[in-house]
Structure 1
Amino acid sequence: MKSITTFALAAALMLGAPVSAQLTDGEPLAIATSYTVKSDILGGERKLTVRLPTEYQAEPERRFPVVYLLDGGPEQDFIHIAGIAHSREMNFSFEPFILVGIESVNRRHWFAPLSSEPELYAELMGAEPGGTFRYRDFLRSEIKPLVEATFRTNGHDAVIGESLAALFVVETLLEEPTLFDDYIAISPSMWFENMKYGIEARDYLAKLPAGERRLYLTVANEGEWHREGLERLVDALRDRAPADLKWTFVPADEQETHGTVYHPMALDAFRMLYPTPTREYKGFGRLSDIKNGKRTAEEEARLEQECTLENSRATTPGAVAKGRDRLYYECLVLELGPTPREGTLGK
């Protein structure tokens, strides 16, 4: 059957010309696999949606970290976060991981901590808070063992959530820090329970057990207790975070709203937590400023070296543009995206 481009089809329709070409039968585009999981802890069923990186099939002996996505149902945040994971297979700006989306049901119950005024929150939110301890039990006892038994995981786990789910991420770090290695909280609802987890953060941090962990925090243009509660948490991290808790605060209040912050800052978090080394290569051909693309002996030696995080120089794309000639073939880790306001992650 004859095919035409979308542009040509649109032009024909605008000109009123008859269109003889037709679309052939479509083929579904699969980006992940969904499984139905029965939970005895939560009661009922949940949908688990898993995206494997392309390296999973190409490198059958390799094991991968896991990012657990809250609100991760196919009708929730899974597809747009999976798109970020897919983008790295084209730009290689961060390391591959297994993405596990966990469908939320009654999220305002399961992601909201206990409250001294549950009736008030039930009236305001339409659900009684206080389900977080059981939800952590669900993750610890049912979901993580299932994922680890089914897929080639390497033992390094992250959890990511936005808004109320991000409050769950913060509370989990403070209440059960050993559950994950990386905690990604996108604009957490720190206003909850009169900013409890900001006000009491110092006490929680003083009791954190030893162990390397990382925390990524960001916020949009929200004000009032939402921002103040987060700033109180940042104050506590600045003053009391143990040395083995690496953290960063990357505010996006000048660029994003609560409705737009998730996608760009999830990308920033993945780039910061899972950076991958890269190189600057000389150009070739008439349009290049480098004649014939010839390499010096020093550049040849750099090119022979395998790039790792340990032997790579941290820099920015802007700095590379200002000094590209001296950086050809050197191993680099590019600090992409917005600049953190403060923290210890990456230092």
Structure 2
Amino acid sequence: MRVFLSILLLLPALCFGQAARQNDNQITIGTKETIHSAILKEDRHLWVYVPKSGDGAKTRYPVMYLLDGEAFFTSMAGTVDYLSGQGKMPEMIIVGIENTGRVRDLTPTHYPFWASGEPANDLKSSGGGPNFMAFLEKEVMPYIEKRYQTQPYRMFVGHSLGGLTVLQALVHQPALFTSYVAIDPSIWWDKQLIMKQAEKALTQKDYATESLFYAVANTMEKGMDTVRVVQDKTQDNHNVRNHLLFRETLRKSKNLAWAWKYYPEDNHGSVPFPAQYDALRYFFKKYELDKDLKDSTVTVDYLKNHFRTVSALLQYQVLPSAGTVNALGYIALGNKQYARAYQFFKLNLDNYPADGNLHDSMGDYYVAIGDKKKAMEAFRKALSLEEVAETRRKLKSLEAGR
């Protein structure tokens, strides 16, 4: 058995060092790739994370498109890697889109004014949102889907002006993504234009196949609360007030699955980190098995039925992870429930026939029941797929009659 188991509104958080996959003395989390955009007439950098199990494998993954990629790539990749490793969500490819002109790309209209109405030189480049979305749809997505093994499930994540861009896509191009994460979105933009557009679109369009997670930071004055802020008219409290009003629009939406969460202990800059985690837990709350692996009622049929439900949720076929099923097989083997162990190991091989580790596991099963011939066949098959010292040792031991 081997291992199975304001300016604040405009600027993203600082980017921290990458970490995850180790190669000699370097630890990396992904690759930085450059594509030329004919639409934007410039080169653009993409930060791409592929699950560790995807190295050279044929497994296909859902894809997350992450705005402000240089700021949030590391934290998001770490969160996805950990949660998927715990069986709480599927593994995902993450595509972080690095900024060149953030105000230009993440604003839907030209509006060189702050929320207060004061002129803003920093916003004079605004209004390039439609071009940016065309770049994302017609250049980035085809590039990723041609280069990587992808599933049709797409998630769109953005913070601040990026959150505004996410809401723009939900309202105007809902079929482009399956799930949407708007983190403290700048809905004040252009006199709350997105609120007016959403009021119409969310109540008229059928959003049966889309879902939204909406995160709100505490940007109110000290002493203000979410009850009194609705009646408050001061500029300092407009963000939370607008978010509460947007929640009322969500309540009127047609079939949209959504969650709205307020973070009283987090400001605009700190809210992305907890919101990333909560969004993933919300979207994939039905993904995790609802029984402990040691529960005797966890059977092959239970797994198949559970992942039929998960497949319906994600809108593509999802198989139980090899690691989870392998764990179940070894639990049964340890309890000398040999027929039960065989069923789990066989399910894994049916789903992942080219995984050498799973043939190794089946070899362990045959050793346990005393079928030396089939055990050696299983170990040889495993070694034909991947040379592993432990498997080689077990095969030599059987060949030597030990």
3-state SS, counterpart of residue 166 of structure 2? helix
Aligned mate of 1:65, from 62, 85, 90: 62
Equivalent residues in 2 for 1:122-271 (5 A)? Answer: 123-208=120-205, 212-223=209-220, 224-239=237-252, 241-243=253-255, 245-252=256-263, 254-271=264-281
In the alignment, what sits opposite 2:102? 107
CA contact (8 A) 2:59 2:149 kept: yes
Q: Which ranges in structure 2 are unaligned for 5 or more consecutive residues?
A: 1-23, 221-236, 311-402
- The CA deviation string for residues 141-198 of structure 1, in whole angstroms up to 9 with x for no partner, is 1000111111111111111011111111011111222221111111111121222222
* Cα distance in structure 2, aligned partners of 1:143 and 1:247: 27
CA distance in 2, matches of 1:191, 1:33: 35
3-state SS of the aligned residue for 2:65? strand
Alpha-carbon shift at residue 302 of structure 1 (Å): 3.3
Q: Structure 1 regions of 5+ residues with no counterpart?
A: 1-25, 283-298, 313-347
SS of corresponding position for 2:250:
helix
Amino acid at match of 2:259: T
Supply the AA of the counterpart residue of 2:238.
W
Q: Which amino acid aligns with 2:144?
A: V
Whether the 8 Å CA contact 1:190–1:225 is kept in 2: the answer is: no
**How far is 1:115 from its partner?**
4.1
1:309 positional shift:
5.5
In the other structure, the counterpart of 1:21 is none
Name whichever structure is richer in helix by fraction: 2
> What is the aligned partner in structure 1 of residue 89 from structure 2?
94
How many residues are treated as equivalent by the alignment? Answer: 266
Deviations 1:199-249 (A, max 9, x none): 44211224435651111101110232222222222111112x112x21111
Query: Any idea what the Cα deviations from partners look like across 1:282-307, whole Å, max 9, x if unmatched?
Result: 6xxxxxxxxxxxxxxxx523345316
SS in 2 for 1:301: coil
The CA deviation at 1:127 is 3.8
Q: Does residue 1:280 correspond to 2:280, yes or no?
A: no
The CA distance in 2 between the partners of 1:160 and 1:51, in whole Å, is 15
Report what 2:26 is aligned to: 28
- Per-residue Cα deviation, 1:89-129 (whole angstroms, up to 9, x for no partner): 54332211111111111101110121455697872534421
TM-score, with length taken from structure 1 = 0.70
Secondary structure in 2 matching 1:87: helix
Secondary structure of residue in 2 paired with 1:251 = strand
Give the fraction of aligned pairs with identical amino acids, expressed as a percent: 26
Cα distance in 1 for residues equivalent to 2:251 and 2:288: 29
Alignment partner, residue 300 of structure 1: 296
Specify the structure having the higher radius of gyration (Cα). Answer: 2
* Correspondence 1:77 to 2:90: no
What is the distance in 1 between the residues matched to 2:39 and 2:185? 25
CA offsets 1:18-73 (integer angstroms, 9 cap, x no match):
xxxxxxxx822121011111111112111111111123238x33211100011113
Rate the CA distance shift 1:157–1:112 in 2: closer, same or farther, 3 A.
same
Distance 1:154 1:310 in 2: 16
Would the aligned equivalents of 1:174 and 1:204 in 2 still touch at CA under 8 Å? Answer: yes
Do 1:113 and 1:132's aligned partners in 2 also have CA atoms closer than 8 Å? yes
Distance 1:36 1:187, change over 3 A: same
Question: Residues of 1 paired with 2:179 and 2:84: CA distance?
Answer: 22
224-233 vs 60-69, greater mean Cα deviation: 224-233
Mapped partners of 2:262, 2:94: distance in 1 = 25
Residue type at the aligned position of 1:140: E
Q: Contact 1:54 / 1:89 at 8 angstroms: preserved in 2? A: no
| Alignment check: 8 A CA contact 1:64 1:152 kept | yes
Q: Residues 47 and 238 (structure 1 numbering): CA distance in 2 closer, same or farther, change over 3 Å?
A: same
Separation in 2, partners of 1:281, 1:97: 23
Q: Does 1:50 find its partner at 2:48?
A: yes
For normalisation by structure 2, the TM-score amounts to 0.61
Q: CA deviation at 1:255?
A: 2.4
